[in-house]
Structure 1
Amino acid sequence: MKYNPLPQSLYIRNRQKLKSKLPPKSIAVFNSNDIMPTNADGTMRFRQNNDLFYLSGIDQEESVLVICPDFPDPNQREVLFLRETNEHIAVWEGHKYTKEEAFAVSGIENIQWVSNLDTVLNTLMALSEHVYLNANEHLRAAVVVETRDARFIKSCRDRYPLHQYHRVAPLMHQLRAVKEKEEIDQMQIACDITEKGFRRILNFVKPGVTEYEIEAEYIHEFIRNKSKGFAYEPIIASGLNACVLHYIENKEVCKEGDMILMDVGAEYGNYNADMTRTIPVNGRFSKRQRAVYEAVLRVKNEASAILRPGINIQDYHKEVGLMMQSELVNLGLIDQTDIKNQDPKWPAFKKYFMHGTSHHLGLDVHDVGTMHDPITPGMVFTVEPGIYIPEERLGIRLENNIVILEDGYFDLMRNIPIVPEEIEELMN
C-alpha cells in the first residue's frame, strides 16, 4: 500500500467494541468487496469493504473475517481468511499478504486461507446461536449489484436454516460514526493533501483554462502525496455549471468574470476528505460575488458553532435554514412575503439552498452513522452551505470537515484558504 497503515492496536480495539455489543453465543461474518468488472476482461480498481477494513485493516480482495467471541477455544474466536497466493499470482498481480504480514496489520493470530472457510465455519456455527451478517444499509444506498455479503447471506441461511439471524449493519453504524484518534489523524492527512491540491489550483487558474485541466492539477498533487486519488468524482463547475449540484462533466472553459465551484477531496488510507471552495476565475471577486460569498461563509461558520454534542442533525438543519433565510433576505433573493407564503415542507430559502448542510465523513464520504440520534464527541461532519442563483450564473458553496468535541469542534481544514482576501492575495 502507498499509505502508512494505522497500528494494529486500533483494529484490536475496534473488534473489541463490536464484541461488547454481541449477545452470548454469537458469530459475525464480514466479507471483502468484489473486484467489479467493466467490459471484456477489464476490472475496476479494488476498494475494500469498509466494515471489514474497520475491523481488521486488511486491504485485499477475497478476505473474510469471522468473529465468534464465546467459542470455547480462544484461538477460534477471531479468524481471518485470506486468498492464498502462488507464483502465477505473484507474477501477474503482485504481492499478496503473507500470514505474518496480515497479523502485523490486524493483530489477528488465527489466519487461514479462504479455502478453509467452510470447514472452520461449520465448527463455529455448531456452538453458535446468533448469526450477525452484513449488508449495505446506508440510507441513500441504491443496491443493484449482488455483493459477496449478499451471496454469503443466501448460502449461510441455506446451509444453517435454524440459527437466529441478525443485521450487523446497525451496530457497525454506531461504532464507525465515532472516530478514534488514529482515524482522525488519517483524515487529517487526507485534508492536508487536499489543501496542497487547492493551493496548487490558486496558482494555476486564470481565464481560458478548462475545468478538466483544473481536475488534472488536483489529481497530480493528490497522487504525488500518496493518495490513490479523488475520494469521489470531483466537481469542477464554472459559471452556470455551479448551479448543478452534482455536475461532474468538468468540460467547459472557465471564463472571465465567472466563479468556479470546486467540490473535491483526497482519500488517504481509505479515509476521505470532502472540501468545497469557490473562487473567481480572474482572481478578483466582484461586489456581488463577494456579498454572496461572505453570506455563505457566515452560515458555514455559524453552522459549525452549533453542530455540537446533544443536538439532533434534523433540528440542526432547521436552524441552519433559518440562518440562510436571513442571508437570502439581505441579498434581495427572497422577501418577507415569500417567507409568509412559503410551503412549510419546502421553505422559501430552498429555492437557493436546496441541499443538506452536513453529513458524516470517514471511510465513506457519506459515512454511516445515525441522522436521528443526538450527535456525540468524536463524530466527523462536513459543513457545506451554498447559495445557487442560476439567473446570475452564480453558485457558491463552501465546505470544511470538523471533528465534534465535548466543548466545540476541531476544523480539519483550518489551514485551507477560505477568507476572500486570502483567496485574492494567493491568486494574484
Structure 2
Amino acid sequence: MKYHPINFKLFVKNRQKFMAQMKPGSLAVFNSNDIYPIGADSTMPFHQAPDLFYLSGVDQEESILLLFPDALNPKHREVLFVRETNAHIAVWEGEKLTKERAFAVSGIKTVYWLSEFDKVFFDLMTEAETIYYNTNEHYRQAVETETREARFIKASKEKFPAHAVAKSNPILQEIRGVKEPEELELMQTACGITEKGFRRVLDFVKPGVWEYEIEAEYLHEFIRNRSRGFAYTPIIASGNNANVLHYVENNQQCKAGDLILMDVGAEYANYSSDMTRTIPVSGSFSKRQKQVYNAVLRVKDEATKMLVPGTLWAEYHKEVGKIMTAELQSLGLLDKADIANENPEWPAYKKYFMHGTSHHIGLDTHDYGALKTPMTANMVFTVEPGIYIPEEGFGIRLEDDVVIQPKGEPKNLMKNIPIEAEAIEELMNS
C-alpha cells in the first residue's frame, strides 16, 4: 500500500463498537471484495470492502473477518482468515499478509489461512444461535454484480437454515457515521492531498487546455503524495458541461471566458475527500459569473453553519432550499410568481439547484451514516450547493468537507483550499 501504516488500535475500537451491539449468542462475518475481471487475463484494480477494512485494517483480497463475542473458546471471539502466501505468490504478485503481519495490521491474535475457514466456521456455527449478514443497504446502492459477500450469504443460508438471521448494516450505519480521531486525521490527509492538486491546477489552467489534461495534473499530484488516486470518478466540466451533474467524459477543450467546474477528491488509506471548485479558464470571472459564484458561496457558508448536533438531515435540506430560493430571486432567475406557484414536492429553486446539499463522507465518498436521526458530533458531511444555468452556458458548484463539532460551527477539513473568487483570481494570475 502507498499509505503509511495505521495503528491497529483504531480497528480494535471499531470492532468493540460493533460487538457491543450484537445479540447474545451471535456471530458476524465480513468478506473482502473480489478482484473483478475485465477480459482475457485483465482485472480491475482491487479496492477493499469498506466494512472489512473498517473493522480489521486488512487491505487485500480473499480475506474474511469473523466476530463471535460469546465464543466458548476466547481465541475465537475475533478471527481473521487470510490467503495463504508462499514464495511463488511473492514473486508473481508481491508480498501478501503473513499471519504475523495480519496481527500487526489488525490487532487480531487468531489468524488462520483461508483454506481453514469452512471447518472453523462450521464449528463456531454449532455454538451460535444467530448470524449477522453484511448486506449493502446504502440509500443510493444499485448493485447488479454478485459480490463475494452475496455469494457467502447465499451459501451460508443453504448450509445453516435453522439459524436466526440478523443484519450488520444498521450497526454499521450508526458507528461508521461517527468518526474516530484517527479517521479524521486520515481524512484531513486526503483533503491536504486534494489541496495540493488544486493549487497545481490553478497554475496550469489557461485557454486551450483540455479537460483530460487537468484530470492528469490532479492524478499526478495525488499519486506522488501517497494517494491511490481519485476517491471517485473525477468531473472536469468546462462551459456548459458543468450543467451535466455527473459529466465524466472530460474530453473537451477549455475556452477563454468559460468556467470549469471541477469535482475531484483524493483518497488516502481508503478514506475519501470530496471537493468542488469552479474556476475561470482565463483567470478572471466576468461580472455575471462572479455574481452567481458569490451567491453559491453564501449558500454554502450559511448551510455549513446549520451542521450542528441535533440537526435533522431532511429539515436541513429544506432550510438550505429557502436560502437558495432567496439567492436565485436576487439573481433574477426566479420571481415572486415562480415561488408563489411552486410545487411543494419540487420547489422552484430545483430548476437551478436540483441535487442535495450534503452527504456523509468517509471510507465511501457517499458514506454510511444515520440520516433519519439527529446529527451528532464527529459526523463528517460535504456541503455542496450549486447553481446551474444552461441558458447562460455555465454552472457553479462549491464543496467542502466538514466535521460536526460538539459545540459551535463545524470544522472545515478544506479550510486551506482557496475558495473566495478573488483568491482564485489572484493565484491564477500570480
* Partner Cα separation in structure 1 for residue 142 and residue 37 of structure 2: 18
Residue aligning to 2:31: 31
Instruction: Spell out the pairing of 1:373-384 with structure 2 (5 A cutoff).
Output: 373-384=373-384
The answer on 1:410 being equivalent to 2:411 is: yes
Instruction: Spell out the pairing of 1:72-151 with structure 2 (5 A cutoff).
Output: 72-151=72-151
User: SS of the counterpart of 1:29?
Assistant: strand
* Partner Cα separation in structure 2 for residue 299 and residue 268 of structure 1: 29
How big is the shift at 1:394? 1.1
The answer on 1:277 being equivalent to 2:283 is: no
The one-letter code sitting in structure 1 at the alignment partner of 2:213 is E
The answer on 1:389 being equivalent to 2:355 is: no
User: SS of the counterpart of 1:279?
Assistant: strand
How big is the shift at 1:370? 2.0
The answer on 1:289 being equivalent to 2:295 is: no
The one-letter code sitting in structure 1 at the alignment partner of 2:123 is T
Question: Which string of whole-angstrom CA distances, capped at 9 and with x for unpartnered residues, describes residues 142-197 of structure 1?
Answer: 11011111111111111111010111111111110000000000000000000000
Residue aligning to 2:230: 230
Residue aligning to 1:307: 307
* Partner Cα separation in structure 2 for residue 350 and residue 409 of structure 1: 26
Instruction: Spell out the pairing of 1:115-194 with structure 2 (5 A cutoff).
Output: 115-194=115-194
Residue aligning to 1:400: 400
* Partner Cα separation in structure 2 for residue 310 and residue 139 of structure 1: 21
* Partner Cα separation in structure 2 for residue 19 and residue 414 of structure 1: 36
Residue aligning to 1:59: 59
* Partner Cα separation in structure 2 for residue 239 and residue 46 of structure 1: 34
The one-letter code sitting in structure 2 at the alignment partner of 1:63 is S
User: SS of the counterpart of 1:327?
Assistant: helix
How big is the shift at 1:111? 0.2
The one-letter code sitting in structure 1 at the alignment partner of 2:8 is Q
Residue aligning to 2:221: 221
The one-letter code sitting in structure 2 at the alignment partner of 1:426 is L
User: SS of the counterpart of 1:405?
Assistant: coil
* Partner Cα separation in structure 2 for residue 31 and residue 135 of structure 1: 11
User: SS of the counterpart of 2:15?
Assistant: helix
Residue aligning to 1:10: 10
Residue aligning to 1:340: 340
* Partner Cα separation in structure 1 for residue 143 and residue 128 of structure 2: 30
Question: Which string of whole-angstrom CA distances, capped at 9 and with x for unpartnered residues, describes residues 107-155 of structure 1?
Answer: 0000000000011111111111011011111111111011111111111
* Partner Cα separation in structure 2 for residue 287 and residue 227 of structure 1: 37
* Partner Cα separation in structure 2 for residue 143 and residue 200 of structure 1: 36
Residue aligning to 2:209: 209
* Partner Cα separation in structure 2 for residue 5 and residue 388 of structure 1: 42
Instruction: Spell out the pairing of 1:344-363 with structure 2 (5 A cutoff).
Output: 344-363=344-363
How big is the shift at 1:89? 1.2
Unaligned residue ranges in structure 1 (runs of 5+): none
* Partner Cα separation in structure 2 for residue 256 and residue 155 of structure 1: 59
Residue aligning to 1:262: 262
The one-letter code sitting in structure 2 at the alignment partner of 1:81 is F
So what's the TM-score if we normalise by structure 2? 0.99
Residue aligning to 1:364: 364
Residue aligning to 1:329: 329
* Partner Cα separation in structure 2 for residue 292 and residue 225 of structure 1: 34
How big is the shift at 1:5? 2.4
Unaligned residue ranges in structure 2 (runs of 5+): none
Number of equivalenced pairs: 428
How big is the shift at 1:308? 1.1
* Partner Cα separation in structure 2 for residue 5 and residue 30 of structure 1: 22
The one-letter code sitting in structure 1 at the alignment partner of 2:35 is I
The one-letter code sitting in structure 1 at the alignment partner of 2:316 is Y
Question: Which string of whole-angstrom CA distances, capped at 9 and with x for unpartnered residues, describes residues 253-283 of structure 1?
Answer: 1011110000000000000000000000000
User: SS of the counterpart of 2:191?
Assistant: helix
Question: Which string of whole-angstrom CA distances, capped at 9 and with x for unpartnered residues, describes residues 321-346 of structure 1?
Answer: 00000000000000000001111111
The one-letter code sitting in structure 1 at the alignment partner of 2:427 is L
User: SS of the counterpart of 1:261?
Assistant: strand
User: SS of the counterpart of 1:52?
Assistant: helix
* Partner Cα separation in structure 2 for residue 83 and residue 103 of structure 1: 14
* Partner Cα separation in structure 1 for residue 91 and residue 135 of structure 2: 34
* Partner Cα separation in structure 1 for residue 403 and residue 154 of structure 2: 39
User: SS of the counterpart of 1:424?
Assistant: helix
Percent identity of paired positions between Structure 1 and Structure 2: 63
The one-letter code sitting in structure 2 at the alignment partner of 1:427 is M
**Runs of 4+ that moved beyond 4 A:** none
* Partner Cα separation in structure 2 for residue 143 and residue 254 of structure 1: 35
Residue aligning to 1:197: 197
How big is the shift at 1:87? 2.0
* Partner Cα separation in structure 1 for residue 231 and residue 173 of structure 2: 20
* Partner Cα separation in structure 2 for residue 348 and residue 13 of structure 1: 46
* Partner Cα separation in structure 1 for residue 85 and residue 19 of structure 2: 30
The one-letter code sitting in structure 2 at the alignment partner of 1:194 is T
User: SS of the counterpart of 2:382?
Assistant: strand
* Partner Cα separation in structure 1 for residue 211 and residue 119 of structure 2: 54
* Partner Cα separation in structure 2 for residue 379 and residue 153 of structure 1: 30
The one-letter code sitting in structure 2 at the alignment partner of 1:320 is V
* Partner Cα separation in structure 2 for residue 307 and residue 37 of structure 1: 41
